[in-house]
Amino acid sequence: MTENQENNLKAFEFPPNVEDLSKEECAKILRKALTLSRKYKTQTDISKITSINEKSIGDYFTARHKPSQERWTLLREALFREGSSESLTIKQASETIHSIERFKAILILLKDELEYFKNSTSENRRILKEQIPGNQIGYLASLLSALYDENQLEIFKNFSNKNK
């Protein structure tokens, strides 16, 4: 890659969210990203690495359709972050997206169950406490909190590894 291409890639903006973009803006970004790409030269290359079919890729590049957020994220990881030391592989990005979706579903179910016990009797809460020890709840609450603060997460990981 030439120095000029590297400078263009550094200055190039590939927004993480597709929501506020028109299909035309998406197509322009995708075409520019492919032009600047070090690894991929064709839409077929992008299709293979992202597992998005070639027709859909073609539709995104020509502004016939706008990609979903999930597909936009896959395309962004493949085209924009390929040179970043922190970039995820396409497989990792896909797994992360799926894991987040499962996590959201679990949280919705958990909220419903917590509401049940909140509005239930003290006897039902006593049975809950017998069945699920408080230290398990504390661990999960601490882990959830730590996931939103990288420094806290490092401390949590060090502490929890020492107690294994």
Domain residue limits, the chain = 3-79, 90-162
What's the confidence (pLDDT) of residue 34?
Answer: 86
Read off the pLDDT band of 2 (50, 70, 90).
Answer: very low
Provide the token pair at 35.
């032009």
Would you say the pTM of this structure is higher than 0.75?
Answer: no
Q: What is the mean pLDDT of residues 127-143?
A: 92
Q: Report yes or no: 46 and 82 within 8 Å, Cβ to Cβ.
A: no
**Quick check: 155 pLDDT over 50?**
yes
Provide the token pair at 125.
């809460």
What's the confidence (pLDDT) of residue 35?
Answer: 83
Phi, psi angle pair for 147, to nearest 5°: -65, -15
Does residue 78 or residue 12 have the better pLDDT? Answer: 78
CB half-sphere exposure, 15, CA atoms < 13 A: 12
Average pLDDT of the chain is 83
Does residue 87 or residue 49 have the better pLDDT? Answer: 49
Residue 144: its H or E element: helix 134-146
What's the confidence (pLDDT) of residue 1?
Answer: 42
Handedness of CA 22, 41, 78, 49 (dihedral sign): positive
What's the confidence (pLDDT) of residue 109?
Answer: 95
CA nearest to 72, candidates 26, 36, 110: 26
**Quick check: 101 pLDDT over 70?**
yes
Q: What is the pLDDT of residues 11-67, one digit of tens each?
A: 567 888 999 999 999 999 999 888 887 778 899 989 888 889 999 999 999 999 999
Read off the pLDDT band of 72 (50, 70, 90).
Answer: very high
Handedness of CA 55, 61, 64, 67 (dihedral sign): positive
User: Could you give the C-alpha distances from 78 to 54, 114, 141, in angstroms and in order?
Assistant: 15, 40, 34
